[in-house]
Structure 1
């Protein structure tokens, strides 16, 4: 993205919504953020890898929203911690995996699309989902018997709120009959780690390069170059105000 005015160059560097500080969670083996602590900055599907399995007594979500699970691979009862919260663990010394929630989902079938059916055969009619469904509602809750992941990887949960036993459906996978899972799905969503959605651009930096010091930049337009994926952005920027556009 750029703006020009005579020999003056105004460079606009637009950062995506993920340009903020990386997610950070501190886990403590005692209540009230006491005792031995470990810090994680990304998903860990088995806390035994950092010698902290079944040891979490309290947490502090320094940056980002987080979820902890009682079983490995993000399964079992889910404990949600919002950014900034300092909480005692809902089930002390019982968590085996943890991960940040740093996706900004959009309704776009080119990035995520899951079709489900209450029939054991998909051709008999499907319902389409493009975004997370925390509660499938009365019409679909505990009624799904077959699925196809047209785009993106998906996770389905036994209970609402992405809790309970977790089932993963990979992109391109079709299951005509969910053995052991028929009529047991209450919530579902694209898997954040592999999600390729886009988020709206946000202006994060403006630089004015003016060797002469006597020319005022003039906004002439915004240009988006290339394909932008998860962790980046899409869409046009608003032009900078006069106070932003020159020194």
Structure 2
């Protein structure tokens, strides 16, 4: 038995919402057989979140679009006019049972509650076909969160990291940093939500002239694999003059966020919570006073005994910290807030 939300829909127009059209409701890797290759001048996203690509098979420059209408001026500035050759929607598939069996729910956009869809607290396996998603323990994107990229996740992975039959809401991850091809936040864009060691396959190597950090603290690098000159940026907008003066124009090849992962049990086991920005309270995330081990993958962090960064604190640099270290220096199951140092 299959359940699904409304199918995603996008309409590509030959001219500014005029002329020949190409309506789509599923991933389409090649517009050539549809006689619409390199023809689109405007786009209307009716539902879901879509990414359009410069080349067939989802390659080349790309542009991600939510529900709305995008005219010639917008499209031509960000990806180019008459250059789109493929398109696909963000999609996550929830399965009732392990091994991707049982009832199925296809989702294409944020879903704050699975209750009305008859899928609350019954998910045992998940497939992400495209996009970057977070699943949550409670409705309204509350409780323990698990971030998922493209791939298949069976019951063992979900149970270890979050628990079985506990998912109540699902959300597309918004970009935490956006790199722009030109000054003044114009031209092609590269939105990122996670560490990205190489911009070359994304068609964005040595192209960034301005940057917007929407969440957390990010470091951008001159070379791939996080090498060469670097620049660390907090939340804010950084135009051409700032970027070129600090690291250079059109030189950025990789980027990664500050990141810390909290684990429920010792030896980095049990439920986990990945954070990339200041968190004044772990209570809404369902992670208050249960942390027994910690891994810092990048950046320097402070963990605190109480909410709002109060009480005893412990400074942690890149590394892994098991229960013995945390218990000796702060105490076990006492962490209530986390902040970038």
Class of the TM-score when normalised by the shorter of the 2 chains: 0.3 to 0.5
**TM-score, scaled to structure 2:** 0.30
In our comparison, the structure showing a higher alpha carbon Rg is 1
Higher helix share goes to which structure? 2
Structure scoring higher RCO (CA < 8 A, sep ≥ 6) equals 1
**TM-score, scaled to structure 1:** 0.40
